[in-house]
Amino acid sequence: MYAQMVKSTGQGVKPREDMSPEERHFQDRVDANEKIEPKDWMPDGYRKTLIRQIAQHAHSEVVGQLPEGNWITRAPTLERKAILLAKVQDEAGHGLYLYCAAETLGISRDELTEKLLDGSMKYSSIFNYPTLTWADIGAVGWLVDGAAIMNQVPLQRTSYGPYSRAMIRICKEESFHQRQGFDIMMKMAQGTEAQRRMAQDALNRFWYPSLMMFGPSDKDSVHSAQSMAWKIKINTNDELRQKFVDQTVPQAHYLGLTVPDDDLRFNDETGHWDFSEPDWSEFYEVLKGNGPCNEERMAARRKAWDDGAWVREGLMAHAGKRSHRTAAE
């Protein structure tokens, strides 16, 4: 049922002449940059697309704690440990803001988690790659949070009020995350020869998976056209990917590192960096569950869900008792 609902939103933009009067009025509000609030009328497709995108984002924040949490006990100094711990806790908080934003659309957080666990909802492809060395934690902060910010800053202007407000808070914290990652990379790149090699190796492994975070190229993006008409998305996947490359290549050069792309060239005519596309067959394999860490990530989420069952049951029992008491009073 859910897959069907999602498919029904994956088409081109609905022409104005085919819209009902409510849909036309709704589109006019979006075009006038009015925020849509939970109790306002909205097309079913708008609601479903938002639930899909916000929940996918929320799941990504939560699953995104795993590759970094893996390094909390092994951070090289007390200061690095405290910073990483704070960052990972921030990601949990981002997940909660986003689940709350999704709940305003009429779906519960439990349902969303169940959809993640049964495979009908996704999380970002990037978190299916392992963090093998401390330099990977630098690369995640610099590249992964850098890509996330590139995507999320425009989403502060998204048409749905609760999503837009959640993004404003999240973006404030993400910029600190990106800087802490770049700072780790600086230390590594300017350290011993072995540390510099670790930094380069982390860049080599995280470069293309970071480019994939923006989603398939525009010609293959299923949802972009309608999502942009509804201002659920503000930019296309390729626009954001290009902005990310333009911002990140000079940073890599500043670090004295080499971007692993032989075809990378600054194009004087366009004023942008030309770069090689990621291997899209790898991207789709990761989405199908065949990435290096898909199984491990889902097993960790399933275990957390099962281990937390007693808390959920306890809360429900407490809520039940309270409502009995209120009814009796």
- Minimum Å distance from CB 267 to ligand BYC? 24
Tell me which stretch binds ligand BYC (CB under 6 A): 48-56, 195-203, 246-254, 320-328. Answer: 48-56
Q: Which residues pair with 136 in a beta bridge?
A: none
Of 137 and 252, the one with the shorter C-beta distance to ligand BYC is 137
Nearest CB to ligand BYC, comparing residues 144 and 189: 144
Question: Does residue 64 interact with ligand BYC by CB under 6 A?
Answer: yes
**Smallest separation, CB 4 to ligand BYC (Å):** 12
Residue 67 near residue 125 (C-beta atoms within 8 A):
no
Task: Return the half-sphere exposure (C-beta side, CA atoms, 13 A cut-off) of residue 280.
Answer: 10
Closest residue to ligand BYC: CB criterion? 64
By the 10 Å C-beta count (0-12 exposed, 13-18 middle, 19+ buried), 20 is classed as: exposed
Query: Which pair of tokens denotes residue 211?
Result: 């480019």
Radius of gyration of the chain (CA): 21
53 binds ligand BYC (CB under 6 A): yes
CB of 61 to ligand BYC, least distance (A): 5
Q: Which of 52, 80, 231, 301 binds ligand BYC (CB under 6 A)?
A: 52
The only residue of 27, 133, 151, 158 in contact with ligand BYC, by rule CB under 6 A: 151
Q: Is 131 in the site for ligand BYC (CB under 6 A)?
A: no
Considering only the stretches 54-62, 105-113, 244-252, 292-300, report the one whose residues sit in contact with ligand BYC under the rule CB under 6 A.
54-62
- Output the CA angle 201-204-205, nearest 5 degrees: 90
Residue 6 or 75: which CB sits closer to ligand BYC? 6
The residues in 173-232 that bind ligand BYC, with binding defined as CB under 6 A, are 212-216, 221-224, 227
Placement of tokens 């075809």 in the chain:
263
146 binds ligand BYC (CB under 6 A): no
Residue 261 interacting with ligand BYC (CB under 6 A):
no
- The residue among 19 and 149 lying less far from ligand BYC, judged by its C-beta, is 149
96 versus 222: smaller Cβ distance to ligand BYC: 222
The rounded distance, in Å, linking the Cα atoms of 191 and 57 is 35
207 and 241 Cβ atoms separated by less than 8 Å: no
Q: Six-digit token pair at 90?
A: 């921030």
In angstroms, the CA 245 to CA 267 distance is 13
Is residue 137 a contact point for ligand BYC (CB under 6 A)? no
Q: Helices in the chain by DSSP H: which ranges? A: 2-9, 21-31, 44-63, 65-69, 78-103, 109-117, 134-139, 145-155, 161-189, 193-212, 224-229, 237-255, 280-285, 294-307, 309-328
Which residue from 42, 171, 20 is spatially nearest to 94, judged by alpha carbons?
171
Residues in contact with ligand BYC by CB under 6 A are: 6, 10, 52-53, 56-57, 60-61, 64, 91, 122, 124-125, 144-145, 148, 151, 212-216, 221-224, 227, 233, 237, 287
